[in-house]
Amino acid sequence: MRALVHLALKSLWNRRFTAGLALLSITISVTLLIGVEKVRTEARSSFTQTIAGTDLVVGARSGPIQLLLYSVFRIGDATANVSWGSYQRITGHPLVAWAIPLSLGDSHRGYRVVGTTDAYFEHLRYGGNRSLALAEGVWFEDLFDATLGAEVARALGYNLGDRITLAHGTGNHSFARHDDMPFTVTGILEPTGTPVDQSIHVSLEAIEAIHLGWEGGVPIPGREVSPDEARERDLTPRAITAFLLGLQSRAAVFQVQRAINAYPDEPLSAILPGVALQQLWNLVGIAENALLVVSMFVVLAGLAGMVTMLLASLSERRREMAILRSVGARPAHVFGLLTAESALLGITGAIAGFALVYALMALGAPLVQATWGLHLAPSAPSMRELALLGMVIAGATVAGAIPAWRAYRMSLADGLSIRT
pLDDT at position 49: 75
DSSP 114-142: EEE-HHHHHH-EETTTEEP-EEEE----S
User: pTM for this structure?
Assistant: 0.73
pLDDT for residue 269: 95
pLDDT band at 43 (very low <50, low <70, confident <90, very high): confident
Structure letter (DSSP) for residue 53:
S
pLDDT band at 415 (very low <50, low <70, confident <90, very high): very low
Determine the pLDDT at residue 318. 63
Q: Return the pLDDT at 36.
A: 84
Give, for 245, the enclosing helix (H) or strand (E).
strand 242-247
DSSP letters spanning 163-230 = EE--EESSSS--S-B-TTS-EEEEEEEPP-SSGGGGEEEEEHHHHHHHTTTEETTEEPTT----HHHH
Provide the residue type at 108 as one letter. H
Distance, in Å, from the CA atom of 342 to the CA atom of 23, rounded to the nearest integer, reads: 10
CA dihedral 173, 176, 178, 183 (to 10 degrees): -20
Instruction: Please state the rounded mean pLDDT for residues 393-413.
Output: 73
DSSP state of 419: P
Report the Cα–Cα distance between both ends of the chain, in Å, rounded.
Answer: 37
The winner for highest mean pLDDT among 67-71, 394-398, 407-411 is 67-71
Instruction: Evaluate if residue 398 carries a pLDDT over 90.
Output: no
- For residue 375, pLDDT over 60 is answered with yes
Q: Over 60: is that where the pLDDT of 411 sits? A: no
Mean pLDDT of the chain: 84
Dump pLDDT digits (tens) for 209-263: 998 877 766 667 767 788 888 889 999 999 999 999 999 998 899 999 999 999 9
Mean pLDDT of 166-192: 82
Spatial distance between the Cα atoms of 194 and 245, rounded to a whole number of angstroms: 19
pLDDT of residue 413: 47
